[in-house]
Amino acid sequence: MSEPGSSNAHGETRPFRVRSSTAEWAAAILRQRVTQGGLPPGSRLAEDELTAELEVSRNTLREAFSLLGHERLLEHRFNRGVYVRVLSPDDVADIYRVRRMIEGAAVRRPDKDPISLTALRDAVSDAERVAAEGRWLDVGTADLRFHQLIVSFNGSRRVDAMMAQLMAELRLAFHAMDPRGLHAPFLPRNRELLGLLESGRNAEADALLATYLDDAERLLLAVCA
Amino acid sequence: MSEPGSSNAHGETRPFRVRSSTAEWAAAILRQRVTQGGLPPGSRLAEDELTAELEVSRNTLREAFSLLGHERLLEHRFNRGVYVRVLSPDDVADIYRVRRMIEGAAVRRPDKDPISLTALRDAVSDAERVAAEGRWLDVGTADLRFHQLIVSFNGSRRVDAMMAQLMAELRLAFHAMDPRGLHAPFLPRNRELLGLLESGRNAEADALLATYLDDAERLLLAVCA
DNA sequence: CTTATCAAATTGTTCAACAATCCCTACATT
DNA sequence: AATGTAGGGATTGTTGAACAATTTGATAAG
Protein backbone atom coordinates (compact mmCIF):
# COMPACT_ATOMS: atom_id res chain seq x y z
CA MET A 1 0.00 0.00 0.00
CA SER A 2 1.28 3.41 -0.87
CA GLU A 3 -1.04 5.20 1.48
CA PRO A 4 -0.66 4.77 5.21
CA GLY A 5 -3.79 3.96 7.10
CA SER A 6 -5.43 1.84 9.75
CA SER A 7 -7.48 -1.15 8.74
CA ASN A 8 -10.44 -2.77 10.43
CA ALA A 9 -11.69 -6.31 10.66
CA HIS A 10 -13.11 -6.18 7.13
CA GLY A 11 -9.94 -5.07 5.42
CA GLU A 12 -11.34 -1.68 4.44
CA THR A 13 -8.58 0.84 5.00
CA ARG A 14 -9.18 4.18 6.56
CA PRO A 15 -6.66 6.80 5.49
CA PHE A 16 -5.18 9.05 8.12
CA ARG A 17 -5.24 12.18 6.02
CA VAL A 18 -8.30 12.54 3.92
CA ARG A 19 -9.74 15.61 2.37
CA SER A 20 -13.26 14.38 2.91
CA SER A 21 -14.76 13.66 6.28
CA THR A 22 -14.80 10.43 8.24
CA ALA A 23 -18.55 10.34 7.83
CA GLU A 24 -18.18 10.22 4.05
CA TRP A 25 -15.70 7.40 4.39
CA ALA A 26 -18.15 5.40 6.49
CA ALA A 27 -20.95 6.25 4.09
CA ALA A 28 -18.87 5.01 1.16
CA ILE A 29 -18.38 1.64 2.82
CA LEU A 30 -22.03 1.24 3.67
CA ARG A 31 -23.03 2.42 0.20
CA GLN A 32 -20.88 -0.25 -1.32
CA ARG A 33 -22.36 -2.93 0.91
CA VAL A 34 -25.86 -1.86 -0.01
CA THR A 35 -25.35 -1.50 -3.75
CA GLN A 36 -23.36 -4.73 -3.99
CA GLY A 37 -25.92 -6.71 -2.10
CA GLY A 38 -24.02 -7.35 1.12
CA LEU A 39 -26.84 -5.62 2.93
CA PRO A 40 -30.12 -6.69 1.32
CA PRO A 41 -33.18 -4.39 1.34
CA GLY A 42 -34.97 -4.42 4.67
CA SER A 43 -31.83 -5.07 6.72
CA ARG A 44 -31.56 -3.15 9.94
CA LEU A 45 -28.38 -1.19 10.56
CA ALA A 46 -27.81 -1.20 14.31
CA GLU A 47 -25.68 1.64 15.63
CA ASP A 48 -23.89 -0.49 18.23
CA GLU A 49 -22.74 -3.09 15.73
CA LEU A 50 -21.52 -0.63 13.14
CA THR A 51 -19.73 1.73 15.49
CA ALA A 52 -17.75 -1.25 16.76
CA GLU A 53 -17.12 -2.63 13.30
CA LEU A 54 -16.18 0.58 11.50
CA GLU A 55 -14.51 2.05 14.56
CA VAL A 56 -16.18 5.41 14.26
CA SER A 57 -18.19 7.26 16.85
CA ARG A 58 -21.94 7.06 16.99
CA ASN A 59 -22.26 10.67 15.85
CA THR A 60 -20.15 10.10 12.76
CA LEU A 61 -22.04 6.94 11.93
CA ARG A 62 -25.31 8.81 12.23
CA GLU A 63 -24.00 11.44 9.86
CA ALA A 64 -23.15 8.68 7.40
CA PHE A 65 -26.69 7.35 7.80
CA SER A 66 -27.96 10.83 7.02
CA LEU A 67 -25.93 10.98 3.83
CA LEU A 68 -27.21 7.64 2.60
CA GLY A 69 -30.72 8.53 3.67
CA HIS A 70 -30.66 11.51 1.35
CA GLU A 71 -29.52 9.21 -1.43
CA ARG A 72 -32.62 7.17 -0.64
CA LEU A 73 -30.56 4.04 -0.02
CA LEU A 74 -31.41 3.95 3.67
CA GLU A 75 -34.64 4.72 5.41
CA HIS A 76 -34.66 6.35 8.82
CA ARG A 77 -37.60 5.52 11.06
CA PHE A 78 -37.69 7.76 14.08
CA ASN A 79 -36.76 5.98 17.30
CA ARG A 80 -36.64 2.73 15.40
CA GLY A 81 -33.34 2.83 13.56
CA VAL A 82 -32.27 2.84 9.94
CA TYR A 83 -33.05 0.18 7.38
CA VAL A 84 -31.92 -0.58 3.88
CA ARG A 85 -34.67 0.78 1.72
CA VAL A 86 -37.23 -1.60 0.23
CA LEU A 87 -38.51 -0.46 -3.15
CA SER A 88 -42.29 -0.65 -3.49
CA PRO A 89 -43.99 -1.20 -6.86
CA ASP A 90 -45.03 2.44 -6.63
CA ASP A 91 -41.39 3.41 -6.33
CA VAL A 92 -40.45 1.42 -9.40
CA ALA A 93 -43.29 2.94 -11.38
CA ASP A 94 -42.29 6.42 -10.28
CA ILE A 95 -38.64 5.87 -11.12
CA TYR A 96 -39.54 4.77 -14.63
CA ARG A 97 -41.93 7.68 -15.01
CA VAL A 98 -39.01 10.01 -14.33
CA ARG A 99 -36.68 8.03 -16.57
CA ARG A 100 -39.12 8.30 -19.45
CA MET A 101 -39.22 12.04 -18.93
CA ILE A 102 -35.54 12.83 -18.61
CA GLU A 103 -34.13 10.19 -20.95
CA GLY A 104 -36.82 10.98 -23.50
CA ALA A 105 -36.05 14.68 -23.38
CA ALA A 106 -32.36 13.94 -23.82
CA VAL A 107 -32.87 11.67 -26.81
CA ARG A 108 -35.11 14.20 -28.56
CA ARG A 109 -32.47 16.94 -28.32
CA PRO A 110 -31.02 17.89 -31.71
CA ASP A 111 -27.57 18.82 -30.45
CA LYS A 112 -25.59 15.89 -29.13
CA ASP A 113 -22.17 16.42 -27.66
CA PRO A 114 -19.67 14.33 -29.74
CA ILE A 115 -17.54 13.64 -26.66
CA SER A 116 -20.51 12.11 -24.88
CA LEU A 117 -21.25 10.04 -27.97
CA THR A 118 -17.85 8.38 -27.80
CA ALA A 119 -18.39 7.77 -24.07
CA LEU A 120 -21.71 6.22 -25.02
CA ARG A 121 -20.01 3.89 -27.50
CA ASP A 122 -17.54 2.85 -24.80
CA ALA A 123 -20.33 2.05 -22.37
CA VAL A 124 -22.10 -0.19 -24.89
CA SER A 125 -18.85 -1.95 -25.81
CA ASP A 126 -17.96 -2.47 -22.17
CA ALA A 127 -21.36 -3.94 -21.47
CA GLU A 128 -21.03 -6.40 -24.35
CA ARG A 129 -17.51 -7.38 -23.39
CA VAL A 130 -18.22 -8.13 -19.73
CA ALA A 131 -21.43 -9.89 -20.77
CA ALA A 132 -19.36 -12.26 -22.89
CA GLU A 133 -17.33 -13.00 -19.78
CA GLY A 134 -20.47 -13.65 -17.78
CA ARG A 135 -19.86 -10.81 -15.35
CA TRP A 136 -23.50 -9.74 -15.21
CA LEU A 137 -23.10 -7.41 -12.25
CA ASP A 138 -20.64 -5.37 -14.27
CA VAL A 139 -23.03 -5.48 -17.18
CA GLY A 140 -25.54 -3.77 -14.95
CA THR A 141 -23.01 -1.10 -14.05
CA ALA A 142 -22.19 -0.43 -17.71
CA ASP A 143 -25.89 -0.32 -18.57
CA LEU A 144 -26.55 2.24 -15.88
CA ARG A 145 -23.60 4.28 -17.11
CA PHE A 146 -25.01 4.18 -20.64
CA HIS A 147 -28.30 5.64 -19.55
CA GLN A 148 -26.65 8.15 -17.25
CA LEU A 149 -24.71 9.39 -20.26
CA ILE A 150 -27.88 9.68 -22.31
CA VAL A 151 -29.37 11.87 -19.59
CA SER A 152 -26.27 14.06 -19.66
CA PHE A 153 -27.34 15.32 -23.11
CA ASN A 154 -29.80 17.49 -21.25
CA GLY A 155 -26.82 19.47 -20.04
CA SER A 156 -28.15 19.92 -16.51
CA ARG A 157 -26.19 19.21 -13.35
CA ARG A 158 -29.40 18.82 -11.40
CA VAL A 159 -30.94 16.34 -13.82
CA ASP A 160 -27.69 14.38 -13.84
CA ALA A 161 -27.76 14.24 -10.05
CA MET A 162 -31.36 13.08 -10.07
CA MET A 163 -30.56 10.33 -12.56
CA ALA A 164 -27.61 9.20 -10.44
CA GLN A 165 -29.96 8.88 -7.48
CA LEU A 166 -32.50 6.93 -9.52
CA MET A 167 -29.78 4.53 -10.64
CA ALA A 168 -28.70 3.99 -7.04
CA GLU A 169 -32.28 3.23 -6.10
CA LEU A 170 -32.66 0.82 -8.99
CA ARG A 171 -29.69 -1.17 -7.80
CA LEU A 172 -31.75 -1.98 -4.72
CA ALA A 173 -34.29 -3.74 -6.90
CA PHE A 174 -31.65 -5.46 -9.02
CA HIS A 175 -30.58 -7.69 -6.14
CA ALA A 176 -33.98 -9.36 -6.09
CA MET A 177 -33.42 -10.69 -9.61
CA ASP A 178 -31.23 -12.99 -11.61
CA PRO A 179 -28.75 -10.48 -13.06
CA ARG A 180 -28.49 -12.26 -16.41
CA GLY A 181 -32.22 -12.37 -17.05
CA LEU A 182 -32.36 -8.72 -16.06
CA HIS A 183 -29.66 -7.33 -18.33
CA ALA A 184 -29.24 -9.73 -21.26
CA PRO A 185 -32.44 -8.71 -23.09
CA PHE A 186 -31.39 -5.08 -23.16
CA LEU A 187 -27.86 -5.34 -24.50
CA PRO A 188 -28.81 -5.44 -28.21
CA ARG A 189 -31.34 -2.68 -27.68
CA ASN A 190 -28.68 -0.42 -26.20
CA ARG A 191 -26.55 -1.11 -29.27
CA GLU A 192 -29.50 -0.30 -31.54
CA LEU A 193 -30.29 2.86 -29.59
CA LEU A 194 -26.70 4.00 -29.93
CA GLY A 195 -26.88 3.57 -33.70
CA LEU A 196 -30.03 5.68 -33.93
CA LEU A 197 -28.46 8.41 -31.80
CA GLU A 198 -25.30 8.45 -33.89
CA SER A 199 -27.22 8.90 -37.11
CA GLY A 200 -29.46 11.56 -35.60
CA ARG A 201 -32.72 9.62 -36.03
CA ASN A 202 -34.14 11.11 -32.88
CA ALA A 203 -37.78 10.17 -33.36
CA GLU A 204 -36.94 6.52 -33.80
CA ALA A 205 -34.58 6.63 -30.84
CA ASP A 206 -37.36 8.15 -28.77
CA ALA A 207 -39.76 5.37 -29.73
CA LEU A 208 -37.23 2.63 -29.07
CA LEU A 209 -36.35 4.10 -25.71
CA ALA A 210 -40.02 4.25 -24.74
CA THR A 211 -40.60 0.55 -25.35
CA TYR A 212 -37.26 -0.22 -23.72
CA LEU A 213 -38.27 1.51 -20.52
CA ASP A 214 -41.74 0.00 -20.56
CA ASP A 215 -40.27 -3.48 -20.80
CA ALA A 216 -37.66 -2.86 -18.12
CA GLU A 217 -40.28 -1.51 -15.77
CA ARG A 218 -42.51 -4.52 -16.35
CA LEU A 219 -39.61 -6.84 -15.62
CA LEU A 220 -38.84 -5.18 -12.30
CA LEU A 221 -42.48 -4.86 -11.27
CA ALA A 222 -42.94 -8.60 -11.74
CA VAL A 223 -40.31 -9.24 -9.08
CA CYS A 224 -40.95 -6.30 -6.82
CA ALA A 225 -44.70 -6.78 -6.40
CA MET B 1 -51.67 27.79 23.53
CA SER B 2 -53.15 24.34 23.60
CA GLU B 3 -49.82 22.59 23.34
CA PRO B 4 -47.30 22.83 26.13
CA GLY B 5 -43.81 23.77 25.12
CA SER B 6 -40.75 25.76 25.93
CA SER B 7 -39.98 28.95 24.06
CA ASN B 8 -36.74 30.63 23.21
CA ALA B 9 -35.71 34.24 22.79
CA HIS B 10 -37.31 34.48 19.35
CA GLY B 11 -40.73 33.24 20.37
CA GLU B 12 -40.44 30.05 18.38
CA THR B 13 -41.94 27.33 20.51
CA ARG B 14 -40.37 23.95 20.85
CA PRO B 15 -42.95 21.36 21.73
CA PHE B 16 -42.14 18.88 24.45
CA ARG B 17 -43.74 15.98 22.70
CA VAL B 18 -42.96 15.91 19.04
CA ARG B 19 -43.02 12.98 16.76
CA SER B 20 -40.18 14.38 14.69
CA SER B 21 -36.68 15.08 15.88
CA THR B 22 -35.17 18.17 17.45
CA ALA B 23 -32.86 18.48 14.47
CA GLU B 24 -35.82 18.79 12.15
CA TRP B 25 -37.33 21.43 14.38
CA ALA B 26 -34.14 23.45 14.25
CA ALA B 27 -33.92 22.92 10.51
CA ALA B 28 -37.48 24.18 10.10
CA ILE B 29 -36.67 27.41 11.90
CA LEU B 30 -33.52 28.02 9.89
CA ARG B 31 -35.32 27.11 6.67
CA GLN B 32 -37.93 29.72 7.41
CA ARG B 33 -35.33 32.38 8.14
CA VAL B 34 -33.55 31.63 4.89
CA THR B 35 -36.60 31.50 2.64
CA GLN B 36 -38.16 34.58 4.21
CA GLY B 37 -35.03 36.61 3.87
CA GLY B 38 -34.06 36.92 7.51
CA LEU B 39 -30.78 35.28 6.60
CA PRO B 40 -29.67 36.69 3.23
CA PRO B 41 -27.54 34.63 0.82
CA GLY B 42 -23.89 34.60 1.83
CA SER B 43 -24.60 34.87 5.55
CA ARG B 44 -22.43 32.76 7.78
CA LEU B 45 -24.16 30.51 10.29
CA ALA B 46 -21.85 30.27 13.29
CA GLU B 47 -22.32 27.21 15.45
CA ASP B 48 -21.72 29.04 18.72
CA GLU B 49 -24.34 31.70 18.08
CA LEU B 50 -27.03 29.29 16.95
CA THR B 51 -26.53 26.67 19.64
CA ALA B 52 -27.05 29.43 22.19
CA GLU B 53 -29.99 30.96 20.39
CA LEU B 54 -31.90 27.80 19.51
CA GLU B 55 -30.85 26.05 22.71
CA VAL B 56 -29.85 22.85 20.99
CA SER B 57 -26.57 21.02 21.19
CA ARG B 58 -23.86 21.45 18.61
CA ASN B 59 -24.44 17.96 17.28
CA THR B 60 -28.12 18.46 16.61
CA LEU B 61 -27.45 21.85 15.05
CA ARG B 62 -24.98 20.23 12.71
CA GLU B 63 -27.59 17.64 11.81
CA ALA B 64 -29.97 20.47 10.98
CA PHE B 65 -27.24 22.03 8.83
CA SER B 66 -26.88 18.72 7.06
CA LEU B 67 -30.60 18.58 6.32
CA LEU B 68 -30.67 22.09 4.86
CA GLY B 69 -27.47 21.44 2.98
CA HIS B 70 -29.14 18.57 1.15
CA GLU B 71 -31.97 20.94 0.28
CA ARG B 72 -29.33 23.17 -1.25
CA LEU B 73 -30.31 26.10 0.97
CA LEU B 74 -27.05 26.04 2.91
CA GLU B 75 -23.55 25.44 1.68
CA HIS B 76 -21.03 23.60 3.81
CA ARG B 77 -17.39 24.58 3.29
CA PHE B 78 -15.10 22.13 5.04
CA ASN B 79 -13.41 23.64 8.09
CA ARG B 80 -14.90 27.00 7.25
CA GLY B 81 -18.50 26.73 8.37
CA VAL B 82 -21.88 26.85 6.70
CA TYR B 83 -23.24 29.73 4.64
CA VAL B 84 -26.57 30.60 3.12
CA ARG B 85 -26.23 29.54 -0.46
CA VAL B 86 -25.50 32.17 -3.10
CA LEU B 87 -27.03 31.32 -6.46
CA SER B 88 -24.63 31.67 -9.38
CA PRO B 89 -25.83 32.53 -12.88
CA ASP B 90 -25.07 28.92 -13.76
CA ASP B 91 -27.41 27.81 -11.02
CA VAL B 92 -30.21 30.02 -12.30
CA ALA B 93 -29.69 28.77 -15.85
CA ASP B 94 -29.73 25.16 -14.65
CA ILE B 95 -32.83 25.65 -12.58
CA TYR B 96 -34.70 27.07 -15.56
CA ARG B 97 -33.41 24.28 -17.78
CA VAL B 98 -35.04 21.81 -15.41
CA ARG B 99 -38.20 23.88 -15.12
CA ARG B 100 -38.58 23.94 -18.90
CA MET B 101 -38.27 20.18 -18.92
CA ILE B 102 -40.63 19.24 -16.12
CA GLU B 103 -43.20 22.01 -16.53
CA GLY B 104 -43.17 21.54 -20.28
CA ALA B 105 -43.75 17.81 -19.96
CA ALA B 106 -46.61 18.46 -17.55
CA VAL B 107 -48.32 20.99 -19.81
CA ARG B 108 -48.11 18.69 -22.83
CA ARG B 109 -49.86 15.86 -21.02
CA PRO B 110 -53.31 15.14 -22.42
CA ASP B 111 -54.86 13.96 -19.14
CA LYS B 112 -55.19 16.70 -16.57
CA ASP B 113 -56.55 15.92 -13.14
CA PRO B 114 -59.70 18.08 -12.62
CA ILE B 115 -58.97 18.42 -8.91
CA SER B 116 -55.58 19.91 -9.66
CA LEU B 117 -57.21 22.26 -12.17
CA THR B 118 -59.38 23.79 -9.47
CA ALA B 119 -56.34 24.08 -7.22
CA LEU B 120 -54.64 25.83 -10.10
CA ARG B 121 -57.52 28.29 -10.40
CA ASP B 122 -57.28 29.01 -6.69
CA ALA B 123 -53.58 29.70 -6.95
CA VAL B 124 -54.05 32.23 -9.75
CA SER B 125 -56.92 33.94 -7.93
CA ASP B 126 -54.93 34.09 -4.70
CA ALA B 127 -52.00 35.64 -6.51
CA GLU B 128 -54.20 38.32 -8.07
CA ARG B 129 -55.95 39.08 -4.80
CA VAL B 130 -52.80 39.54 -2.70
CA ALA B 131 -51.23 41.50 -5.55
CA ALA B 132 -54.11 43.97 -5.34
CA GLU B 133 -53.28 44.35 -1.65
CA GLY B 134 -49.65 44.95 -2.47
CA ARG B 135 -48.41 41.88 -0.60
CA TRP B 136 -45.84 40.96 -3.17
CA LEU B 137 -44.07 38.35 -1.05
CA ASP B 138 -47.32 36.40 -0.86
CA VAL B 139 -47.70 36.86 -4.60
CA GLY B 140 -44.42 35.05 -5.00
CA THR B 141 -45.65 32.22 -2.80
CA ALA B 142 -48.85 31.85 -4.82
CA ASP B 143 -46.88 31.94 -8.07
CA LEU B 144 -44.58 29.19 -6.90
CA ARG B 145 -47.61 27.17 -5.82
CA PHE B 146 -49.14 27.63 -9.27
CA HIS B 147 -46.10 26.21 -10.99
CA GLN B 148 -45.70 23.44 -8.43
CA LEU B 149 -49.27 22.39 -9.25
CA ILE B 150 -48.51 22.40 -12.95
CA VAL B 151 -45.62 20.05 -12.33
CA SER B 152 -47.89 17.75 -10.34
CA PHE B 153 -49.66 16.84 -13.59
CA ASN B 154 -46.69 14.61 -14.28
CA GLY B 155 -47.98 12.43 -11.46
CA SER B 156 -44.55 11.73 -10.02
CA ARG B 157 -43.62 12.09 -6.35
CA ARG B 158 -39.98 12.44 -7.27
CA VAL B 159 -40.54 15.17 -9.83
CA ASP B 160 -42.76 16.99 -7.35
CA ALA B 161 -39.99 16.81 -4.76
CA MET B 162 -37.44 18.09 -7.25
CA MET B 163 -39.68 21.02 -8.16
CA ALA B 164 -40.17 21.85 -4.48
CA GLN B 165 -36.42 22.00 -4.09
CA LEU B 166 -36.02 24.21 -7.14
CA MET B 167 -38.62 26.60 -5.78
CA ALA B 168 -36.78 26.80 -2.46
CA GLU B 169 -33.58 27.61 -4.32
CA LEU B 170 -35.32 30.25 -6.39
CA ARG B 171 -36.46 32.02 -3.25
CA LEU B 172 -32.79 32.62 -2.54
CA ALA B 173 -32.54 34.68 -5.71
CA PHE B 174 -35.85 36.44 -5.11
CA HIS B 175 -34.45 38.29 -2.11
CA ALA B 176 -32.01 40.12 -4.34
CA MET B 177 -34.85 41.76 -6.26
CA ASP B 178 -37.73 44.14 -5.90
CA PRO B 179 -40.59 41.68 -5.36
CA ARG B 180 -43.09 43.74 -7.35
CA GLY B 181 -40.97 44.06 -10.45
CA LEU B 182 -40.28 40.35 -10.20
CA HIS B 183 -43.85 39.06 -9.97
CA ALA B 184 -46.13 41.70 -11.50
CA PRO B 185 -45.26 40.96 -15.14
CA PHE B 186 -46.16 37.30 -14.75
CA LEU B 187 -49.57 37.54 -13.15
CA PRO B 188 -51.58 37.99 -16.39
CA ARG B 189 -49.50 35.30 -18.07
CA ASN B 190 -50.37 32.81 -15.34
CA ARG B 191 -54.04 33.67 -15.90
CA GLU B 192 -53.64 33.17 -19.63
CA LEU B 193 -51.80 29.90 -19.14
CA LEU B 194 -54.57 28.66 -16.90
CA GLY B 195 -57.14 29.41 -19.61
CA LEU B 196 -55.19 27.44 -22.20
CA LEU B 197 -54.86 24.50 -19.84
CA GLU B 198 -58.56 24.50 -19.02
CA SER B 199 -59.52 24.40 -22.69
CA GLY B 200 -56.97 21.72 -23.47
CA ARG B 201 -54.95 23.80 -25.94
CA ASN B 202 -51.75 22.10 -24.87
CA ALA B 203 -49.52 23.22 -27.74
CA GLU B 204 -50.32 26.88 -27.13
CA ALA B 205 -49.84 26.42 -23.40
CA ASP B 206 -46.46 24.83 -24.08
CA ALA B 207 -45.38 27.77 -26.23
CA LEU B 208 -46.58 30.37 -23.74
CA LEU B 209 -44.85 28.57 -20.89
CA ALA B 210 -41.59 28.48 -22.85
CA THR B 211 -41.50 32.24 -23.38
CA TYR B 212 -42.65 32.74 -19.79
CA LEU B 213 -39.71 30.77 -18.44
CA ASP B 214 -37.26 32.41 -20.82
CA ASP B 215 -38.33 35.87 -19.64
CA ALA B 216 -38.26 34.92 -15.98
CA GLU B 217 -34.79 33.47 -16.34
CA ARG B 218 -33.55 36.60 -18.07
CA LEU B 219 -34.96 38.76 -15.28
CA LEU B 220 -33.19 36.77 -12.58
CA LEU B 221 -29.94 36.52 -14.49
CA ALA B 222 -29.82 40.27 -14.81
CA VAL B 223 -29.72 40.59 -11.04
CA CYS B 224 -27.74 37.49 -10.19
CA ALA B 225 -24.83 38.09 -12.54
C1' DC C 1 5.83 44.87 -0.13
C1' DT C 2 6.25 40.13 0.67
C1' DT C 3 6.82 36.30 3.50
C1' DA C 4 6.98 33.76 7.87
C1' DT C 5 5.31 32.88 12.32
C1' DC C 6 2.28 32.69 16.07
C1' DA C 7 -2.04 32.94 18.74
C1' DA C 8 -7.00 33.07 18.82
C1' DA C 9 -11.15 31.47 17.04
C1' DT C 10 -13.80 28.04 14.70
C1' DT C 11 -14.80 23.68 13.00
C1' DG C 12 -14.13 18.30 12.94
C1' DT C 13 -14.47 14.26 15.72
C1' DT C 14 -14.97 11.45 19.60
C1' DC C 15 -16.73 9.97 24.00
C1' DA C 16 -19.74 9.10 27.90
C1' DA C 17 -23.85 9.91 30.05
C1' DC C 18 -28.74 10.48 30.42
C1' DA C 19 -33.56 10.95 28.49
C1' DA C 20 -37.06 9.29 25.52
C1' DT C 21 -39.09 5.79 22.93
C1' DC C 22 -40.04 1.27 21.22
C1' DC C 23 -40.65 -3.66 21.57
C1' DC C 24 -41.48 -7.75 23.92
C1' DT C 25 -43.14 -10.41 27.61
C1' DA C 26 -45.98 -11.57 31.33
C1' DC C 27 -50.05 -11.04 33.43
C1' DA C 28 -54.90 -9.68 34.05
C1' DT C 29 -59.44 -9.12 32.14
C1' DT C 30 -63.37 -10.22 29.37
C1' DA D 1 -58.91 -17.50 22.91
C1' DA D 2 -58.70 -12.72 22.31
C1' DT D 3 -57.75 -8.33 23.98
C1' DG D 4 -55.74 -5.00 26.91
C1' DT D 5 -52.32 -3.36 29.96
C1' DA D 6 -48.29 -2.60 32.85
C1' DG D 7 -43.35 -3.54 33.42
C1' DG D 8 -38.43 -3.89 31.85
C1' DG D 9 -34.71 -4.32 28.62
C1' DA D 10 -32.77 -2.69 24.46
C1' DT D 11 -32.12 0.93 21.16
C1' DT D 12 -32.24 5.44 19.62
C1' DG D 13 -32.29 10.75 20.58
C1' DT D 14 -29.84 14.47 22.63
C1' DT D 15 -26.58 16.75 25.27
C1' DG D 16 -22.12 18.73 26.95
C1' DA D 17 -17.44 18.48 27.30
C1' DA D 18 -13.05 17.52 25.55
C1' DC D 19 -9.36 17.45 22.23
C1' DA D 20 -7.49 17.63 17.34
C1' DA D 21 -7.19 19.97 13.07
C1' DT D 22 -7.74 23.96 10.36
C1' DT D 23 -8.54 28.69 9.22
C1' DT D 24 -7.91 33.51 10.09
C1' DG D 25 -5.84 37.71 11.27
C1' DA D 26 -2.26 40.17 13.37
C1' DT D 27 2.44 40.77 14.02
C1' DA D 28 7.26 40.60 13.04
C1' DA D 29 11.15 39.75 10.00
C1' DG D 30 13.33 39.93 5.52
pLDDT in tens, B99-151: 999 999 999 998 788 888 999 999 999 999 999 999 998 999 999 999 999 99
How much is the pLDDT for B13? 53
B95·A155 Cβ contact <8 A: no
Where residue B19 falls among pLDDT bands split at 50, 70, 90?
A: low
Closest by Cβ to A154, choosing from B63, B101, B158: B101
DSSP-derived 3-state class of residue B40? coil
How much is the pLDDT for A15? 38
A59 touches chain B (CB under 8 A): yes
**β-pair partners for A169:** none
Per DSSP (E only), the strands in A54-201 are: 74-77, 81-84
Residue A62 (CA) to nucleotide C23 (C1'), in angstroms, measures 22
CATH number at A11-84: 1.10.10.10
Say which residues have a Cβ less than 8 Å from residue B115's Cβ, sequence separation at least 6: none
Q: Is the CB of B17 under 7 A from strand C?
A: yes
Residue B87, pLDDT above cutoff 80: yes
Residue B94, pLDDT above cutoff 50: yes
**Cα dist from A16 to A3, A5, B177, B202, whole Å:** 9, 5, 46, 59
What fold is seen in the domain B89-224? Four Helix Bundle (Hemerythrin (Met), subunit A) (1.20.120)
A21 chain-B contacts, CB cut-off 8 A: 78
Residue A215, pLDDT above cutoff 90: yes
Question: What's the pLDDT tens digit per position in B160-209?
Answer: 999 999 999 999 999 888 889 999 999 999 999 999 999 999 999 999 99
Q: Are A15 and A3 spatial neighbours (Cβ–Cβ below 8 Å)? A: yes
pLDDT (average), residues A157-170: 96
Question: What's the pLDDT tens digit per position in B62-85?
Answer: 999 999 999 999 999 989 999 999
Residue B22 burial (10 A CB sphere; 0-12, 13-18, 19+): middle
More confident residue, B188 or A179: B188
> Taking Cα atoms as reference points, which of A157, A152, A60, A147 lies closest to residue A113?
A152
* Domain range summary for chain A, segments of one domain joined by +: 11-84, 89-224
Tell me, yes or no, if the two domains B11-84 and B89-224 fold the same way.
no
Where residue B1 falls among pLDDT bands split at 50, 70, 90?
A: very low
Residue type (1 letter), A132: A
Say which residues have a Cβ less than 8 Å from residue B219's Cβ, sequence separation at least 6: B177, B182, B185
Residue B98, pLDDT above cutoff 90: yes
More confident residue, B189 or A52: B189
B155 touches chain A (CB under 8 A): yes
How much is the pLDDT for A224? 75
DSSP-derived 3-state class of residue A42? coil
Measured in angstroms, the CA of A94 and the nearest CA of chain B are apart by 6
How much is the pLDDT for A177? 86
Share of chain A above pLDDT 90, in %: 65
Rounded to an integer, what distance in angstroms lies between the CA atom of residue B81 and that of residue A57?
21
Question: What's the pLDDT tens digit per position in B20-52?
Answer: 789 999 999 999 999 988 999 999 999 999 999
Where residue B3 falls among pLDDT bands split at 50, 70, 90?
A: very low
B95 chain-A contacts, CB cut-off 8 A: 158
How much is the pLDDT for A112? 84
More confident residue, B12 or B223: B223
Residue A12, pLDDT above cutoff 70: no
Residue A86 (CA) to nucleotide C12 (C1'), in angstroms, measures 33
B156 chain-A contacts, CB cut-off 8 A: 94, 97-98, 101
Residue B9, pLDDT above cutoff 70: no
